[in-house]
Amino acid sequence: MVAPVLRPTPTDSPGPPKRLADFASLSEALDYAAKSLAGFNFYSARGGLETVLTFRELREQAVSTALRLSAAGIKPGERLTLLAATAPEFLVLFFACQYAGHIPVPMPLPTAFGRREAYIDQIKGQIVSSGARMALGPQEFLPLVREAAEGASLALIGTLADVGALPEGKATLNPGGSQDLSYIQYSSGSTRFPMGVMVTHASLMANCHAMNKHGVGNGPGDRGMSWLPFFHDMGLVGFMIGALTSQTSMDYLSTEDFARRPLTWLKIISDNGGTVSYAPSFGYELCARRVATMTENSLSLDLSKWRVAGIGGEMIKPHVMQAFAEAFKPYGFSEKAFCASYGLAECVLGVSVARFSTGMTVDYVDKAALEDHRAEPIADTGTKAGRAVVSCGRVLPEHRVEIRGDAGLVLGPRRVGRVYVAGPSVMRGYFNNPEATAEALQDGWLDTGDLGYWLNDELVIVGRAKDMMIVNGRNVWPQDIEWTVEHIAGLKSGDGAAILLTDADGVERPTILVQCRPADPAERAKLVAEVSARVQEAVGIACAVILVPARSLPKTTSGKLARGRAKAMFMAGEIAALATAVPAA
């Protein structure tokens, strides 16, 4: 017998009218989505369709799994840590928790970490701090989970199949209400241990509604595509929960497969007529670099339907986006599809989104004025005096943003200060951490820790407050140093980490850790000299240059450079400096 041909779920399907997250809870949203033919589609690294999970099938499997979890003695409100693989099993477990009233805690995969020990420490902290009753995930990762969970009283460390072997018993469903927790999202945290953001059904629906309706304008004919991990807020909310709560079919490629074959992302968008997909700047950069080595028009791609090419998750690099637009213009891509946004897990996902179908709004500001927390416009003359930043658009309806100075006073246009957010999407707090909650939430306002300014009615983000480097009384942005370094031949995005190191005299010295690939000491010495000269020219400071091994600089679970962790690892000797002296003749 010939097996039936596997086909992806349709973009537009018969069924009830499209609703944009106007539900009381996530289980109610799945009940409604299950009436359509839409669903989730999982692809291989080469772009072959491997698994199709309709919303109806997801609901059936989630309900059955929920009954088994409840029969096993897991009570409503108790937490289950779930390894968030890009696979149907994670979705079934996540939604089973919604129907049983359990609180899922998505955890990263070990592929997001460079060192085994760092991964074990990370998930051990999440298991312990969340007070998890179970830890579930793919079989191949369970040995690491067992090591991390040593000493914890877990009822089960296993797979979805292990849960499926449990009896349903006489358990009943107990889905949460609008004010109950839907899940706990651990922030990626580049400078501190991640903390568990408590997300209620009400705040989740408020953000999904705003992002679908006002952020991307989700409507008939829309289809999503994502390679972003489910343990990060954009992957989890933007391209899983947001899709389900709007009955939108989604196509998935695992993050690991994207890293190996980035152009598969674009192939799937082309094959299925994808209209909405997001990525950090480095995702677009990988594709542009890959196609640059190929013959023009050698790809069979049609990107003309891609109307929202979202950018988020890290500081937006205009030159990277422009390079991508130029590279894929022959394949129907329009630079007007670029849609910059700003958000954070503490606000579920989105805070502001640019007007779609208008492209990027780039603001050129004077670097010297920026050091004084003023975003003074400067002509784009191509000189080193300016810095290009991208507007992240207008604040979502029903949400408010204030830019505040050091004294807490609200600042006017083009004055740089801390970004505060209020509105229905703001988190309830950090799980079991009242001190951190009190520090972040003040009279209903969330202190994001980010720095930004107003460009007319649009929000511009320029960096993290805690990352600011003070050098001889000057405010120096580490991103300016890092972006200068990555433009050097042989280096790329993420190869440099700008930090302050204290010398023997107790003086803080600006330092750049640079990932180095050449083994020849002479080549290394040339690289040190070039980096030092480029930073001096572009930023105007003398910066110590320390070469470190390739792939040694840590990243957060969302793929961003973990500056604080890089500094701590270097000081602890976990990242070793490479020899750079040229041997005597």
Contact, 251 vs 245, CB < 8 A?
Answer: no
Do 308 and 340 contact (CB within 8 A), yes or no?
A: no
Least confident of 35-44, 133-142, 183-192, 574-583: 183-192
Is the sign of the CA dihedral 25, 29, 32, 34 positive or negative?
A: negative
Which carries the bigger pLDDT value, residue 2 or residue 264?
264
- Which strands form 496-502's sheet, in the order they lie side by side? 496-502, 508-516, 544-549
User: Picking from 58-72, 111-125, 338-352, which range would have the lowest pLDDT averaged per residue?
Assistant: 111-125
The pLDDT value recorded for residue 514 is 95
Q: How far is CA 78 from CA 38, 61, 154, 532, in A?
A: 31, 20, 12, 53
How far apart, in whole angstroms, are the C-alpha atoms of residue 35 and residue 353? 30
- Number of other CB atoms surrounding residue 368 within 10 Å: 14
Give pLDDT tens digits for 228-281.
999 999 999 999 999 999 999 999 999 999 999 999 999 999 999 999 999 998
Q: Do residues 511 and 546 lie in contact, with contact meaning Cβ atoms separated by under 8 Å?
A: yes
pTM flag (> 0.95): no
DSSP code, position 396: P
Residue for token digits 């229905």?
A: 424
Which tens digit of pLDDT belongs to each residue from 388-439? 999 999 999 999 999 999 889 999 999 999 999 999 999 999 999 999 999 9
Enumerate the β-bridge partners of residue 130: none
- State the average pLDDT for the chain: 91
pLDDT value at position 283? 93
Identify whether the C-beta of residue 110 lies closer than 8 Å to the C-beta of residue 74: no
Under the banding of pLDDT at 50, 70 and 90, the label for residue 542 is confident
> What is the average per-residue pLDDT within 121-141?
94
* % of the chain at pLDDT higher than 90: 71
Name the least confident of 85-94, 158-167, 567-576: 567-576
- The first and second tokens of residue 323, run together, are 């390079």
Q: Are the beta carbons of 69 and 163 closer than 8 angstroms?
A: yes
Q: What is the pLDDT of residue 33?
A: 98
Does the pLDDT value for residue 552 go beyond 60? yes
pLDDT above 60 for 582: no
Q: Tens digit of pLDDT for each residue in 512-521?
A: 999 999 988 8
Counting residues of the chain whose pLDDT is more than 70, the rounded percentage is 95
The pLDDT, as a whole number, for residue 580 is: 77
230 is written with which tokens?
């489910």
Instruction: Please write the tens of the pLDDT for every residue from 286-301.
Output: 999 999 888 877 899 9
Domain 470-571 sits in which CATH superfamily? ANL, C-terminal domain (3.30.300.30)
- State the pLDDT at residue 191: 33
CA-derived radius of gyration, the chain: 24
Residue 197 to residues 46, 103, 235, 425, Cα–Cα distance (Å):
35, 12, 16, 12
- Give the closest residue to 497 by CA, choosing from 548, 462, 449: 548
